[in-house]
Structure 1
Amino acid sequence: MTGAVMIVGASSGAGKSTVSAALCRAWARQHRDVVPFKAQNLSNHAAVTADGGEVGRAQALQARAAGVEVDRRMNPVLLKPAPEARAHLVVLGQEVMGSDARGQGLTAAELRPVVLQALTELRTEHDWVVLEGAGAAAEINLLDRDMVNLPLAAAAGVPAVLVVDIDRGGGFASAYGTIALLPERLRHCLVGLVFNRFRGDPALLDRGIAELALWTGVPVLGVLPHLGEEPMLGVEDSLDLGAAFESSRQCGPAPVRVAVVRLPHLANPSDIDPLVLEPDVVLRWATHPRDLVEADLVILPGSRATAEDLAWLRRQGLAEALRTTSASVLGLCGGYQMLGTWIEDEVESGLGVLEGLGLLDVRTVFAEPKVVQRSAGRGEGRTIAGYEIRWGRPCVGADPWLEVDGEAEGAQSTDRRVRGTSLHGLLDNDDFRAALLSEIAEARGRQYTPTPTAYQDAVEAHLDRLADWLTAHVDLARLTTLASDAVTVGWEPGW
């Protein structure tokens, strides 16, 4: 058997990425040759392919779930939001242009063949493809230029399953309304429906499920229970970020307190994921100076709009708070650039020379081409690895912090309280993370014992739990049979 299936949502944040990752892992555990695909992603949360291309972080996690190397074709179009309703367009891993929301509609006709070609190639090279939709499936104001949801399913001859978040309330209305709004040609693509995030006894839904199937002709394949306090790694949807740190896990009497500045144009929040799994670390978002008062470590994360987010720090009073805090400060990529003395940006914002926060002896010039690469080296006497996605070229006046790809990288203050690096994924490195947190805990009189679980092992366990969750509550055999009805490669209806 071979085939493909698209996972679409009745709304943003319905759980499409999670269900897609779970299905990739579930099929991979059945020894199926499966790969993920998302035609167009709107996210500043990117990953780097082995050959230096950018794709959405969700597709990288799904590829890992499938047990394959992430490929540019798995996310052929990536839109990275920028200020003033603009976005930067990445096609097959390469950033090609900026566009506004309306301008993207003008390029849809050109991008559709690219999308279908990428999907066709993946289906030719692999037995199974899990396609993820974007946003909501029935955005009727966008259907004429939609190339990621059901219009793509129709063009590729791929069946689709609708995921509905029932936890928000109105799940049946959301499911029925989505199906009713769709044009008939797209409605026929839907072969199943899954309710997600249900709390309670699923038998309570039986009558409604029967009536919904009768009215719509679309069967319900399962009811997925709410994952509760399960840490959600690699959160991509902005609707999910607010709850990313919420957890009822028990900490020691004096855990390391970490405040993460929630920049308006935050990029790559997965940099923080390893800290979520540390039992002696308490995390909180910071948007006001008072949020830094009790912090032992403040993280200034990456940004897709460095100049604008630097101005936001000043408006919020966070710039001065960062200068006066007694906590350690860690800047990552754009956050690192902000900690320097000045930034010259004629590429991303076009605002020219900007004064930085002056906490590190670093001067950054934005220049083309964009740096997109995986990197490795040493830091604090330990092996490290990560990736870089940046326009900025930081120049360090003194006290480099790390060694990456054979060269000095990053910077630190003379007292080592303030440090920064261009390397994303730095905290994924277990020995390095433990050494950094131990140093901060000792300096601040906190108690810290590193988690005994390696971060990469935790990611694998997370993906296995998602596959168990899906397998236990969705009719996977029926879903697989439905997916096998996908049109044979070469016989797609086309756009």
Structure 2
Amino acid sequence: MTELRGALLVAGTTSDAGKSTLVAGLCRYLRRRGVRVAPFKAQNMSNNSAVTLDGGEIGRAQAWQAAASGLEPSVRFNPVLLKPGSDRHSQLVVLGRARGEVSAGQGGALRAELGRIVAGTLDQLRAEYDVVICEGAGSPAEINLRSGDLANMGLARSAGLPTIVVGDIDRGGVFASMFGTLALLEPADQRLVAGFVVNKFRGDAELLAPGLSMLTELTGRPTLGVLPYEPDLWWDTEDSLSYSDGRLLGRPGPARGEQWLRIAVVRLPRISNATDLEALAAEPGVSVRLTATTGELADADLIVLPGSKATVADLEWLRERGLDAPIRAHAAAGRPVLGLCGGYQMLGALIDDPVESGRGQVDGLGLLPVHVRFVADKKLGRVAGTALAAPVRGYEIHHGRAEVGYDAHVTPLITDAAGAPEGCRSGAVFGTHWHGAFDGNEFRRAFLAEVARLAGRDGFRLAPDTDVPALREASLDRLGDLVEKHLDGTALDRLIGGGAPAGLPFVPPGPPPIPSARPGRVLAVVSGTDRAISATGAPPARPAEPVVTGGREVVSFERLAAGIRAAPARCGPVRLVAVDGRAGSGKSTFAARLTDALAATGARVFLLHTDDLLQGWLDIVSFWPRLEEWVLCPLRRGEPARFRRYDWHRGAFPDRFEQIGRPDVLVLDGVTTARAAARPLLTRSCYVQTDRQLRFDRGCAGTVPGSCPTGPGG
């Protein structure tokens, strides 16, 4: 057993970035270490839901995360669930019970009440379990929604949760999205964001490493791990973003016989519990495609109308797209059609809906003799029975009550444990309100065998060993393996147990302006850090202390040195740093301090003043050819560098070379050292500036020998 106690929030750059998957993986990883862990999602918006033992409704992802934790699903794991029925309205489910419809703009008293419920529920879980892994919703950087946020930084702030941000690199733009997510947060929110996780990476890790280093330097926060792309981890999708028109569900295994079984699932706009089809997609030789085209429906062996959160609206959409015709033709030809929950209701003769759509009576497709009336009370529960001579289990989530005209040609599809009929079958058309029935191995095989017979697929052969519950459990174990192997477990433990570290820097939004130096203060703008650094004038008490200048948090020389050491070398094996700026700005002082900080890290560092390569007082830029010949070209080849230091008293270069060797870091100090020709070789460039009066005073005091400008800025 471990003594780890605490909580963590997993936020994401977008929906479907990998939050649900990472939470499930963390829960399985911690459970295997003996930690009593529970998942938590304060507010979820999804039409994929599950039913708890006590008849409550929660997001399916939280049921999946509960399984990863070795727990039965609980309404406490998802106290607020929003089930969108249209673009503007959703059904509100609180602690497992439907509370009615709400609009996107509702707030005030309702939002305050939900906030209290969320806070109280999380407090209960944290008292009961060692660790609670919380999942955010969408993106924490939805700045238009921040004031009413319950699930992201609003939750993190109220509960003091350290937060990590996961981004999907497979979509592209992961660095921009992670940096931008952080930069859009207000300072108090940023103080809780302690690191990043890159999800779905495939390719050469060495090519990714420089980007991770740069992200750390830009944000002052580490990347805690890179999870590889795993195409087999497709179970229990959180929302419909993972289902696209024309996309195969899962990864179909090779057929065991001579023929495949082709299943076309109508991609309804408000599809719900599409996870019902995952069990079918797990069967070798079965392809399950979500589609909205008449051609793919006509070509299928089985057409499935899945669940819907807006049955009447989706039925109208189906008719507008002309998809009702191939479904009717399929049934008329004696080929199988299946309706699940809302899809079952669409297959009926009549729908009377005063609840969801308020449309009253609407004709169904007329393929089953079923009349459905919607009532306010939602039917929720886990169910069991027999179908096709096989045991079957599932769950119900629906407002519709079905009256079926059973006769010699219309028979119950399922007989429940009490002997009551559920759903019906008329020839090759099947319908049921039950979800999750295909997770049972025996019923799934019996149903697919019947579908193959009806479709005339005599060459299709069922695999006798497909075990869907075992496959789901194996996917959770695989997630736990990935977390253990690819994330920094020690850093995660520190965050969970100790919270976000103090002193995390604020990252302002937008491109950083070059800060204006106050009188008596020298600043440097450093490439790759978006920060200013105090150099001279009025330095902090200790050089390592961050200071604030002009309202911007600035970093220390030690942090800059650490960032340089972590960044890739671009001049052969050497990290080249340019310290540029106007005469008298404080470049040499800045370069000396940076050199000392680099040396303190154990680096072999050499400071080269380009003034030593100038040929006399009137030469201010011709050092570049000598720098290239003596220093940069040898270093690029991996050879030792050397230079001749101009003798200002003799007015000539000596014959003797001074040795630079092959340092880890070469710091160049001088005007125009960060010129365009140098930039491809630079690991960092630092532009130093101060106020004009200070530069003038230094010039007159002899900082620039033989030269005194005529006035400030001269």
One-letter amino acid of the counterpart of residue 186, structure 2: P
Partner of 1:454: 467
CA displacement at 1:81 relative to structure 2: 0.3
2:495 is the alignment partner of 1:482: yes
Question: Which SS does the other structure have where 2:105 is aligned?
Answer: helix
Partner of 2:218: 215
Structure 1 residues 321-374: Cα deviation after superposition (integer angstroms, max 9, x where no partner): 211113201111111111111011111111111111111111111113110111
Match of 1:344 among 330, 335, 352: 352
Partner of 1:394: 402
Partner of 2:316: 311
8 Å CA contact retained: 2:56, 2:380? yes
Partner of 2:541: none
How far apart are the structure 1 equivalents of 2:145 and 2:431?
41
Structure 1 residues 230-283: Cα deviation after superposition (integer angstroms, max 9, x where no partner): 141111232211256163743354111101111111010110010121111011
2:282 is the alignment partner of 1:277: yes
Partner of 2:667: none
1:34-433 aligned at under 5 Å gives the runs: 34-104=37-107, 107-227=110-230, 229-242=231-244, 243=247, 245=249, 247=251, 249-251=253-255, 253-325=258-330, 326=333, 327-398=335-406, 399-406=411-418, 407-413=420-426, 415=427, 417-433=428-444
- Distance change in 2, residues 1:84/1:154 (3 Å): closer
8 Å CA contact retained: 2:250, 2:282? no
Structure 1 residues 17-50: Cα deviation after superposition (integer angstroms, max 9, x where no partner): 0101111111111111000000000001110011
How far apart are the structure 2 equivalents of 1:167 and 1:184?
29
One-letter amino acid of the counterpart of residue 167, structure 1: D
How far apart are the structure 1 equivalents of 2:261 and 2:232?
21
8 Å CA contact retained: 1:231, 1:276? no
Structure 1 residues 103-122: Cα deviation after superposition (integer angstroms, max 9, x where no partner): 25763222111101010001
27-36 or 199-208, which deviates more:
199-208
How far apart are the structure 1 equivalents of 2:134 and 2:233?
24
How far apart are the structure 2 equivalents of 1:127 and 1:72?
19
- Distance change in 2, residues 1:156/1:235 (3 Å): same
- Distance change in 2, residues 1:97/1:442 (3 Å): closer
How far apart are the structure 1 equivalents of 2:251 and 2:115?
41
How far apart are the structure 1 equivalents of 2:67 and 2:226?
25
How far apart are the structure 2 equivalents of 1:172 and 1:426?
42
How far apart are the structure 1 equivalents of 2:177 and 2:324?
43
One-letter amino acid of the counterpart of residue 269, structure 2: P
Question: Which SS does the other structure have where 1:102 is aligned?
Answer: coil
- Distance change in 2, residues 1:282/1:248 (3 Å): closer
How far apart are the structure 1 equivalents of 2:215 and 2:424?
59
- Distance change in 2, residues 1:223/1:105 (3 Å): farther
How far apart are the structure 2 equivalents of 1:208 and 1:5?
25
The number of equivalent residue pairs is 484
2:26 is the alignment partner of 1:31: no
One-letter amino acid of the counterpart of residue 385, structure 1: R
One-letter amino acid of the counterpart of residue 311, structure 1: E
Partner of 1:473: 486
Question: Which SS does the other structure have where 2:106 is aligned?
Answer: helix
CA displacement at 1:421 relative to structure 2: 0.5
How far apart are the structure 1 equivalents of 2:364 and 2:64?
34
Partner of 1:492: none
After TM superposition, which residue ranges in structure 1, 4 or more long, deviate above 3 angstroms?
246-253
Structure 1 residues 427-463: Cα deviation after superposition (integer angstroms, max 9, x where no partner): 1111111011112223312412235131100000011
How far apart are the structure 2 equivalents of 1:244 and 1:16?
23
Partner of 1:491: none
Q: TM-score scaled by structure 2?
A: 0.66
CA displacement at 1:419 relative to structure 2: 0.8
- Distance change in 2, residues 1:49/1:212 (3 Å): same
What is the aligned-residue identity percentage?
A: 45
Partner of 1:490: none
One-letter amino acid of the counterpart of residue 427, structure 1: F
8 Å CA contact retained: 2:248, 2:289? no
Structure 1 residues 389-441: Cα deviation after superposition (integer angstroms, max 9, x where no partner): 0000001111222112411111110x2x0010110011111111101111222
8 Å CA contact retained: 2:248, 2:288? no
How far apart are the structure 2 equivalents of 1:143 and 1:213?
25
Question: Which SS does the other structure have where 2:393 is aligned?
Answer: strand
Structure 1 residues 215-235: Cα deviation after superposition (integer angstroms, max 9, x where no partner): 2111111111111x3141111
8 Å CA contact retained: 1:437, 1:448? no
How far apart are the structure 2 equivalents of 1:280 and 1:181?
47
CA displacement at 1:163 relative to structure 2: 0.3
CA displacement at 1:168 relative to structure 2: 1.8
8 Å CA contact retained: 2:250, 2:281? no
In the alignment, structure 1 segments of 5+ residues that lack a partner are: 488-495
How far apart are the structure 1 equivalents of 2:210 and 2:436?
47
8 Å CA contact retained: 1:277, 1:451? no
- Which structure's CA Rg is the greater one? 2
Q: How large is the RMSD of aligned CA atoms in angstroms?
A: 1.5
Structure 1 residues 72-119: Cα deviation after superposition (integer angstroms, max 9, x where no partner): 011010000012411110111111021111125763222111101010
How far apart are the structure 1 equivalents of 2:172 and 2:319?
39
- Distance change in 2, residues 1:213/1:94 (3 Å): same
Structure 1 residues 139-166: Cα deviation after superposition (integer angstroms, max 9, x where no partner): 1111101110012111101111110111
One-letter amino acid of the counterpart of residue 74, structure 1: F
> Which structure would you say has the larger RCO, counting Cα contacts within 8 Å and 6 or more residues apart?
1
8 Å CA contact retained: 1:263, 1:309? yes
One-letter amino acid of the counterpart of residue 306, structure 1: T
How far apart are the structure 2 equivalents of 1:276 and 1:439?
16
2:446 is the alignment partner of 1:435: yes
Question: Which SS does the other structure have where 1:103 is aligned?
Answer: coil
Question: Which SS does the other structure have where 1:214 is aligned?
Answer: helix
How far apart are the structure 1 equivalents of 2:465 and 2:489?
34
Q: TM-score scaled by structure 1?
A: 0.95
